[in-house]
Structure 1
Amino acid sequence: MEFKLATSFDGKAILQLMQEGIAYLKAQGSPQWQDGFGPDEAKVMHDISQKHCYILVNEHQQIVGTAALIPGVDPAYTAISEGQWEGDAPYLSIHRVAVNSQFRGYGYAHLLLERSLLEAQHLGYHDVRIDTHRLNTPMQKAITKAGFQYRGVVHFPILNGERLAYQKINTQ
């Protein structure tokens, strides 16, 4: 498996993964990414152009999964309730995580998060944050398996914007 920056050439395939993710969440009864609040082509291409979008590629050059690694302050993370962040060091947020529907259920979300954490360290970030909707239990499982700790609740300024927030501090 190779974890690498996505290019504009990968945009169409990544957008397909996002659309699959939106449909999967809907089928699970989760309002996350629904009603036009999910990743779209503009957001995917912006992530790629800013060199924030990464892909996990298998030996057959198929994109298994994708994640956006966003450095800097996330406005939704500035107000956390029912808990608090550990420390105030510069951090990197992981957003827009999606796994190819052909590869769901094989632990690739966990692998994607592990590789994201390694890339965060490579980029100089020891504080990594992520969030998900409380109904997205497969993602919660992958997040905690990757070593993230639950920190509280954050609110995005969208319909059904409440998210469970997690953090991992890499001390290595």
Structure 2
Amino acid sequence: MKFQQATLSDLPRLTKIMTEAIELLKKQGSPQWQNGHGPTAEKLTEDIQKHRTYILKTADDEIAGTIALIPGIDPAYTAITEGKWQGDAKYLAFHKVAINQQFRGQKIAAKLLEAAVHEAINLGIQDLRIDTHELNLGMQKVIKETGFDYCGVVHFPIPDGKRLAYQKIV
């Protein structure tokens, strides 16, 4: 598999993958990304144009998964509760993780996070942060399996914006 930055030509497929991920969360009973608060084509376009969106491609050139690597201070991460971050170094936030439904159950999410960790190291960033909804048990499992530690709770300014926050120092 190859980890690379997404381009605008990937947008139609990424939009479909995100739509499927939003529907999966809904079926699982999670309010995460629901009611217009999930990744949209406009948000994906912006992230691609800012070189933040990465994709994991198969040998057959299929997009198996996607993730956004967001540099800088995430406002929601500044007010962590029920715990604390491990230091205050420059960090990279991992957001908008989604797996192509054709590849679910094949450990692609773990491969995607591991590739993102390696990319962060290549970018010279050692403090990595990620969050997920408390009902997104699959994502929590993958986050923990890839070496992230639970640090507390962050709140995004949206309905059901409470998220479990994790960090990995490499």
TM-score range, shorter chain: over 0.9
- Aligned equivalents of 2:90, 2:156: Cα separation in 1: 20
Equivalence for 2:63: 63
SS at match of 2:138: helix
Report the TM-score, using the length of structure 1 for normalisation.
Answer: 0.98
In structure 2, runs of 5+ residues without a counterpart are none
RMSD over aligned CA atoms reads 0.4
Equivalence for 1:149: 149
Report how far residue 30 of structure 1 moved. 0.2
Paired amino acid for 2:19: Q
Report how far residue 43 of structure 1 moved. 0.3
Query: Equivalences for 1:13-28 in 2 at 5 Å?
Result: 13-28=13-28
- The count of aligned residue pairs is 170
Paired amino acid for 2:70: I
Report how far residue 25 of structure 1 moved. 0.1
Paired amino acid for 1:69: L
In structure 1, runs of 5+ residues without a counterpart are none
Report how far residue 4 of structure 1 moved. 0.1
Deviation per residue, 1:95-140 (Å, 9 max, x gap): 0000000111110000000000000111110000000000000000
Report how far residue 33 of structure 1 moved. 0.2
- Aligned equivalents of 2:63, 2:25: Cα separation in 1: 20
Report the TM-score, using the length of structure 2 for normalisation.
Answer: 0.99
SS at match of 2:39: coil
Equivalence for 1:126: 126
Q: Hey, which bits of structure 1, 4+ residues long, moved more than 2 A? A: none
- Aligned equivalents of 1:90, 1:133: Cα separation in 2: 24
